[in-house]
Structures are given as C-alpha cells and as structure tokens.
A and B are shown apart, each in its own frame.
Chain A
C-alpha cells in the first residue's frame, strides 16, 4: 500500500470508573487507504466504537483517556492538534454516522439547519449556497423533494430516511474519510440493504474511504475491502474479505462465522454460538483474552500473549495455533 489516509498505531484507550480502570482498547493498529472500505467487526463491548470515537477525539475525557498510541490522518498526528484545529478536522476531513438515526438528529431543529450548519462553520459560503449543496446531497442519498424537505423536522421522517439524512450530513464537506458506527443496526432488514447499497454508491461517486463498524457479518461481506476482527480491545485477525471469510485463522473469527446462518448451508446443522461472554476489561487476563471461550485453548494460551503471525501481506492473526509446535485443528 503506497498511500495511506489514516494510520493508527498501538492505540490504547482506558476509562477510569469507580470500580477501576476499564481497558476498552488495548493496542490497536491498522491503516486505511484512500477510497478503501475497512470493517471493524466484533461483539458488543469489544472496543469497536471507542476505536472509532478515538479517531474523532470524541471519547469523553474524563473518564476516557488515550493511554498511548498515535492516529495520523494524511500524515498529521491528530493527538497533537489543539481543540480548535481538531474541530476543523471533524466534519470537514472526517464525517461520522452513528448507530441510532432516531436519536442522532436534534428534534428541535429543521433538517436543513442541521445539514448546513457544519459546512457553514467550516467553509466561507453563503446560506443559500449551503442549502443548494444540502439539496444536492439529499438527492444523492435518495431523498425525493429535497428542497421542501429542508424545512421539515426529524420526527417527520422515517428511520431509514433519517439515516440517509445523517449520511448526507456527514458528506456535506466532502470528507476523505467516513466513519460509520453501526449504521444499520437500528434499521430493519430491507432498509439495511438499501443503506448498504447507498454506501457503495456514494463511495463510487465520491471516492471517500469508509470505516464501517458492525457486528453484522452480512453487512461486512457486501461492502468491505478489508476486515479487522476485534476481541476484548485487540485486533485478533485482519485480512481481506476473502481471506477472513474463506480462510479464517483465529478461533474467534471462526466462531463468528459459524454463528451466522448461511443461505447455502446445511439447514439440519444447528448454528454454533460462541460459548461464554467476553472477559472483564477491568482486569484483562494474562495471555490470550479468548482462552476461556476457545475450544482449542492450550496451556500456553493462558500464560502468554500470542504473537502476531502474518499469513500474507494483508492477512495476520494473533493466535498460538499459528505456532509451528501447535497441532493444527483446522
């Protein structure tokens, strides 16, 4: 990869609570190239959203704290920026879409107002130009009669339409990166498919890079170029969609894949869920965090953190099974 848009290196984020320090993200590294779609997958509480919010520096401080690591956007260290400089990155260079479109729009302001306020802050343009731009983008995200709809309030739209508006809003300043935090989770299935198609269409038209955070592997398969599988605040496996879906190496990735129904699968076979729950991030276990839920756990997993094994230039995993001395169960 010659070009890198976003590069995250050894990022660790903790929250101090009354019960102690919660290590939400424990040393995450990945990169995003311009125009690429990278998915972050994992179950609830594995640090996906915190990773995304760290990129925007939206983790509330306190209680949150970026312990170490760096985030570079176009070679610029975001952690070193002042609050004011960071504000000019938010919304302008990085757009963000949140999980629940029902609550992510302010109920007391018109959609037009909320669409244009970002661009009016970042760019020196008139209100009518901003509105023209908003109409253009509403057209792009497939909302009919955009001109009239600028005057409406969020509660006058359905959930799917609100998510389209959120997407339009995130694209107002032509950002080079779009972060979508569970963009389809709160929507019903038919709308989910439409929104995923919309992401693809937007990427073709604008060339924006997308980080999509989800626990829905169906979404990932449709849209992503690369997948990062997160577990207990770490990336346990990373690779292209093909590598992750056809050659998963980490037992957790395999567990995720076997717990999803397949249209072409054998229906007499029951789905296999991953037993147990993720570890307590107050005191992450020594060794591999997945040990207690892993069918293939060995003595060494409990005691030592596994090293990263590269299987190809894009595909790596963090598992002791990759060690040449381990038995190969699959």
Chain B
C-alpha cells in the first residue's frame, strides 16, 4: 500500500509538471505581452526596466528554468497587475474563500444528487422519478452564471436572509454554492438513478430480499454501495467542473476568491498569476483523482490497490 502511494505520488508530481510546462509555453504563445497591457506609458526605458524585473528579457527556455526553480520553493513571483503584492499574498488572501465555496458545493452536490437519484430509482416511473429527472435536466441545462443572476435577482433581493453578494458568513455561501452545485448534482442524480435501477435487478438483491431484510436495509447496505462506484468515478472530473465554474460565479457574487485572479490574469497577460492558479487547480485535481482511486478500493474490495511488482 505504501509503495502504491509513493508510486502514485511520483505520477502526480509528473502530471503537475507536464501541466506547468504546457501552460507555460501556451501562455507565451498568446499574442501580446504583459507590458503591452500594463499601463507603463510610452517610455522604452521603463519598458526595458520592467522586462528585466520580470525576467522577460531572457530567452524563453531560461525563463522556464527559473520559473520551475521558483515553483519548487513555492514562490510564484510578483504579480504584474498589483505591483505592490506578490502572487503568494494574493492567493493566500483569496484561497480560503474559494476553498470554502468549493467544499460546500461538492458536499451539497454529492449529498443531494445521491439522495435524489436513490429516490428516483426506488419510485421508478412514478411521479417522484419524473420530477427528479425534470429537476436534473434543468440543473444541467441552465448554466451556473445564469442561475447565479436569477438567484440574486429573485431570491437575494427579496429574502433578507440571503446576502446579495460578498463573503463572510455561512449565509453568503448558500446561494453561490447552490448555483455551482446544481449542474454536478443533476449529473450525480442521473447517474445514481441509472446505477441503482441496474443494481436493484441484480441477483444479490434478490438474495437480500429472500433473507427478509427491510427495504431500507437492502437499499442502503446492498444497493447503494454498488451503485456509487460510477458516481465516485466522475467525482474527479466533477471537481474540475466545480473549480472552473467557480471563476464565473465568484465574480457574479463578488466573492474574494482566487477565481477572479484567474479570469483577470489571462486578459492582463499576468504570467505569474496564470501559472500560480494553474498549478493550484491542477494540484487539487490530481489529488482528487488520487482520493477517488483510494475510495474505489474501500467501496469495492475486488479492486486492489497495488503496483504491478507487488
């Protein structure tokens, strides 16, 4: 098991490195230069000074090597748009809000998605089933930024309990988390439903019934666990969707997370910030994938975690 974890860790580092490299060169391939965007006036001397400060005067390969060295020491460099702050500062101030929002979203989407999916499957072809699936279609088809604006306009404006924007208390979390979670929730609900329907026809469910177990026990103990495996599989990909979705939703709700930096940094050609957010998000994603694989082994004992040599 330890060997497996070490091996996986090596692969994770390799993956993140590949992502960094790709992003670095793609970023430099975008037409335009941070100094074109930054308001430095027309002075050539000032431009040259800034280029030297940000290492932009060196060949690309050199910049790449310097950058990698810095990343290994967790130094993401100075930001190009907020001159007085380093990228590390900005991320430290924005990350907690984004993390809270992301976790709330994941929690909400998984719990409600699984519950809705199970109910729909148990009431197959009945009213609850149809209602749940209509809800799921709505959740998938209305983009989260539209939902955000609808929530602000129709709920937050009218119900004092929900703040319109900004961040701070748990009340601030609810609306943006629901807006972000409805898409993943819908996907999870549909997947759970179809898996449950399949699992409920399995022979071992008949065995469980023949033992005289209650419906509740059959569903929770025998069916759900087997139905959740595919759900766990898409968790990694869903996390990515939640993270990328949060950029826009954070902006609409004026949440001081790191999503705003990511969006702004691209139009500003803020190279260090683009790189920093990419590194953070890809790391989170890779770690999620790892957790998913560990969960596999816990849910289904037939899946053994080990490297080939074991």
Q: Bound state CA distance, A118 and B302, in angstroms?
A: 24
Q: Bound state CA distance, A109 and B301, in angstroms?
A: 8
Chain B positions within 8 Å of A105 at CB level: 204, 207
Residue of B212, B214, B226, B302 contacting most chain A CB atoms (<10 Å): B212
Which of B161-169, B217-225, B266-274 lies on the face that meets chain A? B217-225
Specify the chain A residue showing the minimal Cβ separation from B210: A96
Chain B positions within 8 Å of A170 at CB level: 210
Contact flags B210-237 to A (C-beta < 8 A → 1, else 0): 1111100100011001100000000000
Let me know if B206 and A121 touch, CB within 8 A.
no
Chain A positions within 8 Å of B213 at CB level: 87, 91, 117-118, 121
Chain A positions within 8 Å of B210 at CB level: 56, 58, 90-91, 95-96, 98, 170
Is B57 positioned at the interface, with any CB of A under 8 Å from its CB? no
Let me know if A98 and B212 touch, CB within 8 A.
no
Specify the chain A residue showing the minimal Cβ separation from B215: A83
Chain B positions within 8 Å of A121 at CB level: 211-214, 217
Q: Bound state CA distance, A88 and B213, in angstroms?
A: 9
Specify the chain B residue showing the minimal Cβ separation from A86: B212
Q: Tally chain B residues at the interface, Cβ within 8 Å.
A: 21
Specify the chain B residue showing the minimal Cβ separation from A102: B203
Specify the chain A residue showing the minimal Cβ separation from B208: A106
Q: Bound state CA distance, A169 and B204, in angstroms?
A: 12
Chain A positions within 8 Å of B222 at CB level: 106, 109
Is A142 positioned at the interface, with any CB of B under 8 Å from its CB? no
Report if A98-B206 is in contact (Cβ < 8 Å); known contacts: A108-B299, A118-B213, A169-B211. yes
Chain B positions within 8 Å of A293 at CB level: none
Chain A positions within 8 Å of B299 at CB level: 108
Let me know if A122 and B212 touch, CB within 8 A.
yes
Q: Bound state CA distance, A58 and B302, in angstroms?
A: 29
Q: How many A-B residue pairs have CB under 8 A?
A: 77
Let me know if A108 and B301 touch, CB within 8 A.
yes
Chain A positions within 8 Å of B198 at CB level: none
Is A222 positioned at the interface, with any CB of B under 8 Å from its CB? no
Let me know if B209 and A58 touch, CB within 8 A.
yes
Interface residues of A in 78-117 (CB under 8 A from B): 87-92, 95-96, 98-100, 103-109, 114, 117
A173 to chain B, nearest CB (A): 8
Specify the chain B residue showing the minimal Cβ separation from A122: B212
Is B300 positioned at the interface, with any CB of A under 8 Å from its CB? yes
Chain A positions within 8 Å of B204 at CB level: 103-107
Report if A88-B301 is in contact (Cβ < 8 Å); known contacts: A98-B206, A109-B221. no
Main secondary structure of the interface of B (DSSP, over half): helix
Let me know if B301 and A107 touch, CB within 8 A.
yes
Is B55 positioned at the interface, with any CB of A under 8 Å from its CB? no
Chain A positions within 8 Å of B206 at CB level: 58, 98, 104
Is A245 positioned at the interface, with any CB of B under 8 Å from its CB? no
A58 to chain B, nearest CB (A): 6
Let me know if A107 and B211 touch, CB within 8 A.
no
Is A155 positioned at the interface, with any CB of B under 8 Å from its CB? yes
B228 to chain A, nearest CB (A): 10
Chain A positions within 8 Å of B58 at CB level: none
Partner of B203, one of A89, A90, A98, A169: A98
Let me know if A87 and B203 touch, CB within 8 A.
no
Report if A103-B212 is in contact (Cβ < 8 Å); known contacts: A108-B300, A153-B302, A155-B301. no
Chain A positions within 8 Å of B301 at CB level: 107-108, 153, 155
Is A166 positioned at the interface, with any CB of B under 8 Å from its CB? yes
Chain B positions within 8 Å of A88 at CB level: 212
Interface residues of B in 179-223 (CB under 8 A from A): 202-204, 206-214, 217, 221-222
Specify the chain A residue showing the minimal Cβ separation from B199: A106
Specify the chain B residue showing the minimal Cβ separation from A118: B211
Q: Bound state CA distance, A99 and B202, in angstroms?
A: 12
Partner of B226, one of A90, A106, A114: A106
Chain B positions within 8 Å of A98 at CB level: 203, 206-207, 210
Q: Bound state CA distance, A108 and B302, in angstroms?
A: 8
Q: Bound state CA distance, A121 and B216, in angstroms?
A: 12
B82 to chain A, nearest CB (A): 51
B233 to chain A, nearest CB (A): 15
Specify the chain B residue showing the minimal Cβ separation from A95: B210
Let me know if B302 and A90 touch, CB within 8 A.
no
Specify the chain B residue showing the minimal Cβ separation from A170: B210
Chain A positions within 8 Å of B225 at CB level: 108-109
Specify the chain B residue showing the minimal Cβ separation from A156: B301
Q: Residues of B at under 8 Å CB distance from A? A: 202-204, 206-214, 217, 221-222, 225-226, 299-302
Question: Contacts A91-B210, A169-B211 given; 4 further ones with Cβ under 8 A?
Answer: A87-B213, A105-B207, A108-B300, A121-B212
Q: List 13 A-B contacts (CB under 8 A).
A: A56-B210, A87-B213, A91-B211, A98-B206, A104-B204, A105-B207, A106-B204, A106-B222, A107-B301, A109-B222, A114-B207, A118-B213, A153-B302
